[in-house]
Amino acid sequence: MDEREIVARCLGGAAGSERALVQAYGPLVLAVALNVLANREDAEDVFQETFIQVFRNLGRYDPDRSFKTWLLTIVYRRSLDMIRKRRRFAEFSERARFEPEVLARNPGPDPADPQPLPSRFLKGLSPKERTALCLWANEGFTARDISAVLGCSASTARVTLFNARRKIKSLLENDHGLLQSR
């Protein structure tokens, strides 16, 4: 089934169409969220919220536009919301000085269950740069396609991608230099 057919079936309320949509685009949505957020739990929340929003608003989707771009726009915005939410909560918990045992209720990832996460180098990039890099490298998006997802002009997207590539190269070279000097 191609993009248009899957969306048309969903709009027509065909049985199993939601499942087909999630199966077709779920891995892409989760991968983008993981690359932007670098946190499995948050990425899964964004994944769920994105598809719920898609199912509720599918009637507003313009079929003349690319469904993938529309979907990725929602993922990007939801990821930014998640980053803001986490930042607010971090500021709040720091000021409130929670007791250590309260913080300990949220355990870290289970080392026996390794889940793929993006490289630590991506932490040197802003969420916008991470998104641009991910769309360019994984999906082959051009600056114009990226601009549609980020909600900016093509020139801003081009500069964002350029800066991301330059920072990554510099980080990789520094790391390589450190490894060689050891």
Partner 1 sequence: MASCKVVNILYRALPLQPVRDLLIRTHMEKCECCQAQLASRRDAEALLVKPGDAGAAEALWEMIERRAVQAVRVPEKKAAWLSWEWAAGAAAFLLVAAASFWLLRGVETGAVRADLTRPPERFEIDYINVGGAPAQAFVYQPRGSEMVFVWAGKNL
Contact between 48 and partner 1 per CB under 8 A: yes
Site string for partner 1, 116-135 (x = CB under 8 A): xxxx-xx----------xx-
Give the span between the Cα atoms of 84 and 101, in whole angstroms: 25
Segment interacting with partner 1 (CB under 8 A) among 1-9, 14-22, 69-77, 105-113: 14-22
Give the span between the Cα atoms of 41 and 62, in whole angstroms: 31
Residue 58 burial (C-beta neighbours within 10 Å; 0-12, 13-18, 19+)? middle
Contact between 35 and partner 1 per CB under 8 A: yes
Residue 12 carries which DSSP code? T
Give the span between the Cα atoms of 77 and 98, in whole angstroms: 30
Give the span between the Cα atoms of 50 and 122, in whole angstroms: 23
Contact between 84 and partner 1 per CB under 8 A: no
Interaction site with partner 1 (CB under 8 A):
13, 18-19, 22-24, 26-28, 30-31, 34-35, 44, 47-48, 51-53, 55-57, 59, 89, 92, 95-97, 116-119, 121-122, 133-134, 136-138, 153, 155-156, 158-159, 162, 164-166, 168-169, 172
